[in-house]
Chain A
Amino acid sequence: MNTTTRAFTALLAVLALAFAVAACGSSSSSGSDTTTGTSSTDTGAPTPAADTTMIKKDPANAGKTLTIGSKNFAEQFILGEIYSQALEAAGFTVKKQLDLGSEQIALKALKAGNVDAYPEYTGTALTSFYRVKTQDVPADPAQSFDLLKSDAAKDNITAMPQTPFQDTFVVTSTQATAKKYGNPTTISELAAKAGSKTTLSGFPECRQRTDCLLGLNSKYNWKPKFVSSQGKYADLEAKQAEFTMGFGTDGEQLLKKYVHYADDKKLFPPYYVSLLTRNDAVPKLGAGGQKVIQDVQKPLTEKVMAELNSRVSIDKKKPEDVAADYLKAAHFIK
């Protein structure tokens, strides 16, 4: 099968991206490269500069214990492992609680001090924790992050700087379906061409969310028949629906057989990841620990994250090993 070649080329892409970002990070400390993302990285300038990116064990961190949490799906497990293993390399004693269920449970665990930090999506935190209505979430990533930062501060939580990648909703179909409707590229074109005589599958919650089906109805005037299902790409394969609500960093998004459509009217709010940290734990992390967190997430573009997710969701590898491979490939650990 072509899965092996796909995995191989993707691995090369990860390595190239990792090297490129590492090179950027070492040459200048401006840090402005994190938001511009993938454009320059495709060239993959082969300058490893391994020594400067390697996480150094800080004796001052010895005996400091941190508990890292995560919610219960592949991307969260991987992120939890990346942060945990990086902090371990920096000399912290790290305990893992990587199966906290939904965001409400994760937030309670964080507030109660059962975990010191866990990765959360900006859009999710704003709408779910701080009751910001979806249409009121700023479309600008920096603005939505600032809003989260100030809201979280009231809960004695520090929102660490956000990741370069975001994991937002993407309307996805197979190549065949795209062809059938004349290869539209945006959701607007899709709505005009596919009309309402089509089907869209999504997780049950999508049905009544303004940043999901309700928004597609009102903002794009696209009213497909909704199929409530967890199947995602399997729904497309089983012909349960012509379109599905995927996530931008799903491993399947890398496969050639799927097409996704641009959110040209900016319906979906930003879903970048911020490591939410208890204020109590921030001094324990110190400047060194915080730098480690920011450094290890710098190479995480949408492509890289999707590749890491695909290794868990498609190749059935353990998140623990996927995270370790990533940290090694990006020269954070040996």
Chain B
Amino acid sequence: MSLPCPDVAGRHSGFVDAFDLIFHHRESISGGVCVGGPGEIGHLALLHLEVSLVAVVIAVLIAVPVGLWLGHIRKGEFLAVSVSNVGRAVPSLALLAFFVAFLGVGFTNVTLVLTLLAIPPILTNTYVGTRQVEAETVAAARGVGLTEAQIVGQVELPLALPTIFAGIRTSAVAVVATATIAPLANVQSLGTPILEPQTYGDAGQLAAAIVVALITLAVDAGLGMAQRAVTPRGLKVGTHAPERRRRFSLGTPAKTETT
């Protein structure tokens, strides 16, 4: 049986071998199939991003409204915090196995597990971000005649956005890193080369780890930029920052007097 790819046994080692697997296809360790190369690794990376993105989007759609509502009524701190802590304590791998009995293996199972992983940081951050909007600001908004929905949408949400984005960032990084367990429930991802050592070898594990790390850094950087992009708008709407600056400047003349 001849394959259209080379047997690279012992040609490289370590990082060189891992990068070689990312850029060139080769015969698998136990033989009989070609693995690696930009085509396959790229395909796995796309599948990896797909399941991660779906999970984070669903988590945002659930956690942000709930967090905003709890933060707005300034109640449910216990719920927001304890749900988060419990959520963080349950290992995703165990959840994956647990849901097999109800959902079977597949995209739904993996998405649910990753969504449950993503919800806690977003929920906590949304709650905290909304809750920390000063009571006077909300009272002022109410005073000028905004409805409760308008207060949430036009005052609290913009002011909380940087904190909410920080939560989404934390979640996204965790989800992208954890999506490597997806092949255990019949969804291919960059976890495939990690979970198939007799096919991809050490090089595959390292290669997948490198690509996952790069994607994680990219996602973190991208959401970081988004976080910065939403920050000024939020502060402008809230007319919060100038007041603060004035308060700080009150302190400075006192200092200059002593010198």
Residues of B near A231 (CB, < 8 A) are: 97, 100, 105
Output the nearest chain A residue to B191 by Cβ-Cβ distance. Answer: A204
Q: Which residues of B contact A102 (CB under 8 A)?
A: 197
Pick from B10, B32, B104: contact of A134, CB below 8 A. B32
Could you give, for residues 203-242 of chain A, a 1 whenever the CB lies within 8 Å of some chain B CB and a 0 otherwise? 0110111110011001000000001111100110011100
Of A204, A210, A214, A238, the residue contacting B195 (CB under 8 A) is A204
Is B198 touching A209 in the complex (CB atoms < 8 A)? yes
Q: With an 8 A cutoff between CB atoms, is A131 at the interface?
A: yes
Please indicate the chain B residues that have their CB under 8 angstroms from the CB of A229 in the complex: 100, 105, 184-186
**Complex-state Cα separation, A229 to B187, whole angstroms:** 9
* Interchain CB contact (< 8 A) of B100 among A104, A131, A211, A234: A234
Cα distance A94–B199 in the bound complex, in angstroms: 35
B31 and A230 contact, CB distance less than 8 A: no
Contact: A235 with B105, CB < 8 Å? yes
Contact A228 to B197, CB < 8 A, known contacts A104-B202, A240-B100, A240-B105: no
Contacts of A128 in B (CB 8 A): 29-30, 197-198
**Which of A207, A208, A209, A240 has most B Cβ within 10 Å?**
A208
Q: Which residue of A lies closest to B200 (CB)?
A: A208
Does A204 contact B192, Cβ atoms closer than 8 Å?
Answer: yes
Cβ–Cβ contact B197 & A104, under 8 A? yes
B50 on the A face (CB < 8 A)? no
- Cα distance, A205 to B32, chains bound together (Å): 13
A133 at the interface (CB under 8 A from B): yes
Asked if A127 is at the interface of the complex by the 8 Å CB criterion, the answer is: yes
The answer to whether B35 has its CB under 8 Å from any CB of chain A is yes
Docked CA distance A228–B107 (Å): 12
For the complex, is B33 an interface residue (Cβ under 8 Å from A)? yes
A238 and B101 contact, Cβ closer than 8 Å, known pairs A131-B9, A204-B192, A205-B198: yes
Query: Residues of A at under 8 Å CB distance from B?
Result: 102, 104, 127-128, 131, 133-135, 201, 204-205, 207-211, 214-215, 218, 227-231, 234-235, 238-240
The residues of B with any CB-CB pair to A shorter than 8 Å are 1, 9-10, 28-33, 35, 97, 100-101, 104-105, 183-188, 191-192, 195-199, 202
